[in-house]
């Protein structure tokens, strides 16, 4: 209502001003008409003070300049360009020119990086100083993740594991981002961030126990392989459906804000998740609540077999942040130093300014989507080989620490050999470890198990005894 009254007032004032201009233009008629007039009348009919038509223009004008001065001083303009609509969120200026916002900018958003493909520091790079100890740990973890992926993948191919999914080509995003965070930051990962757990202290045996779903698995064998989780390490258990963790991360971040914690929530996702409703709901939710959450999107070019050209028409993921009012940056996901610097800064902004941050990391999924996929069916081998060699994140970071004198070929050989032996040992242990009992299928949901679940458990036990050939022999009753 107030907006309508404001606009109506503007229209009336503009009309009055236009009439005044018309009267002023007609004023010269007065002098020529009055000189030829021979008489005047003392009786003046409505609406003028004279019976002479020519004197209408004279006597109907403002008798004082005060009213006209007041009219001229009113804050409106004949041009819409100088007006603004006081709308929720701030004033919006008007324009008489019809212009559509273009679907994209002329230039793509640049990608922040610190190291070139050979591991040389770029001149003028803006970065946080990294100590020798941190650099060596980052590289150690990158190699461990690489070796761990290789051994577990081969074990699945041998039939020793049911399923596996590697992080090949994305080791820098995993480890460098984890190094930039603190143990108090809550992680909500997708399924290609085991390196974050590795950095926080998850052991190789803990990884293996989860893959086998044995008694050492914190999920008690109820989760699909590679769906890790650790309450102790602030790593929320992975959920397969894409983007569900984003709105959850905002809720966690808001609780950290309410408790005034010096921490943030960090949600990892892939480019394919941007086609899910939860992705957009999560970003908008975070912006509106001003929640301290860092969204890290691994744009690796492929959502299983769907190329990003079939996923969206925007300039990647980074531009989506601005649409929701979120500060964003694009970073070279194969540059561990750049990732470390970007996430360090993003975390600081999220906590000190109490705001969400979106980080798009450009990388490439060198391996197949999972052991259920053959990526050579939908992408050329040359493309895979290029990213595996020329743009390898592990090799690039290794070159940098070697040039700093922080790593040697001897250490490289010893590390890779040691990690492979350790992983092989965990597999041997994991295979022999007993599975969780049948009772664990029905626990941890209700305080008091309802009658229908008790009946199901009873029926299952009876069937396992009656038809033992149809059930795993290593699951105790």
Cite the active site residues: 154, 240, 369-370
Strand partners, 235: 187, 230
Q: Which helix (H) or strand (E) element contains residue 90?
A: strand 90-93
Query: Please, what is the angle between helix 393-403 and helix 171-179, to 10°?
Result: 50
Distance CA 74, CA 13 (A): 8
Q: Which helix (H) or strand (E) element contains residue 166?
A: none
Distance CA 171, CA 124 (A): 25
Radius of gyration of the chain (CA): 35
Distance CA 217, CA 15 (A): 79
**DSSP calls for 9-20:** HHHHHHHHHHHH
Q: Decide the pairing of beta strands 90-93 and 84-87.
A: antiparallel
Paired tokens of 201: 């202290």
In this structure, which long-range contacts are made by residues 65-73, counting pairs with CB atoms below 8 Å and at least 24 apart in sequence? 68/20, 71/13, 71/16, 71/17, 71/20
What 3-state class would DSSP assign to 236? Answer: strand
Paired tokens of 44: 């003046």
Q: What does the angle CA 22 – CA 48 – CA 73 come to, to the nearest 5 degrees? A: 40
- Cβ–Cβ < 8 Å for 300, 364: yes
Q: What does residue 90 show for φ and ψ, rounded to 5 degrees?
A: 130, 170
- CA torsion through residues 351, 357, 360, 366, sign: positive
- Cβ–Cβ < 8 Å for 14, 76: yes
Q: Which residues contact 417 (CB under 8 A, 6 or more apart)?
A: none
- Cβ–Cβ < 8 Å for 230, 173: no
């Amino acid at each position: 209502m107030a907006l309508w009254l404001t606009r109506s007032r503007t229209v009336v004032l503009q009309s009055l001003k236009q009439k005044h201009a018309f009267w002023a233009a007609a004023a010269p008629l007065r002098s020529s008409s009055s000189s030829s007039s021979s008489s005047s009348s003392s009786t003046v009919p409505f609406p003028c003070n004279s019976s002479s038509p020519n004197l209408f223009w004279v006597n109907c004008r403002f008798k004082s300049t005060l009213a006209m001065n007041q009219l001229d001083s009113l804050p409106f303009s004949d041009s819409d360009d100088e007006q603004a609509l006081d709308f929720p969120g701030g004033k919006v200026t008007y324009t008489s020119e019809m212009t559509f916002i273009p679907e994209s900018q002329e230039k793509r958003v640049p990608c922040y990086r610190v190291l070139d493909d050979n591991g040389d520091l770029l001149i003028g790079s803006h970065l946080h100083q990294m100590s020798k100890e941190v650099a060596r740990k980052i590289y150690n973890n990158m190699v461990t993740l690489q070796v761990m992926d290789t051994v577990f993948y081969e074990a699945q191919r041998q039939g020793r594991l049911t399923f596996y999914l590697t992080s090949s080509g994305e080791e820098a995003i995993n480890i460098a981002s984890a190094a930039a965070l603190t143990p108090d930051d809550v992680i909500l990962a997708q399924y290609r961030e085991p390196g974050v757990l590795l950095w926080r202290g998850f052991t190789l045996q803990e990884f293996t126990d989860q893959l086998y779903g044995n008694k050492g698995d914190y999920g008690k064998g109820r989760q699909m392989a590679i769906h890790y989780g650790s309450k102790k390490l602030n790593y929320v258990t992975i959920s397969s459906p894409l983007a569900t963790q984003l709105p959850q991360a905002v809720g966690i971040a808001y609780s950290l804000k309410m408790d005034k914690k010096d921490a943030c929530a960090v949600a990892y996702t892939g480019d394919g998740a941007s086609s899910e409703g939860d992705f957009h709901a999560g970003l908008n939710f975070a912006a509106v609540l001003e929640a301290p959450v860092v969204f890290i999107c691994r744009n690796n070019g492929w959502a299983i077999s769907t190329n990003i050209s079939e996923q969206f028409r925007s300039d990647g993921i980074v531009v989506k942040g601005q649409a929701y009012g979120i500060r964003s940056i694009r970073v070279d996901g194969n540059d561990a130093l750049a990732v470390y610097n970007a996430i360090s800064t993003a975390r600081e902004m999220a906590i000190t300014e109490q705001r969400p941050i979106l980080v798009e990391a450009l990388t490439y999924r060198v391996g197949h989507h999972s052991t259920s996929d053959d990526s050579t069916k939908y992408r050329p081998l040359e493309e895979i080989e290029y990213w595996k060699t020329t743009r390898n994140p592990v090799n690039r970071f290794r070159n940098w620490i070697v040039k700093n004198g922080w790593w040697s070929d001897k250490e490289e050989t010893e590390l890779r050999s040691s990690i492979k032996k350790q992983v092989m040992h965990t597999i041997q242990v994991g295979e022999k470890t007993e599975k969780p009992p049948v009772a664990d299928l029905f626990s941890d949901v209700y305080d008091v198990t309802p009658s229908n679940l008790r009946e199901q458990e009873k029926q299952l036990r009876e069937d396992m005894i009656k038809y033992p050939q149809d059930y795993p022999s290593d699951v105790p009753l």
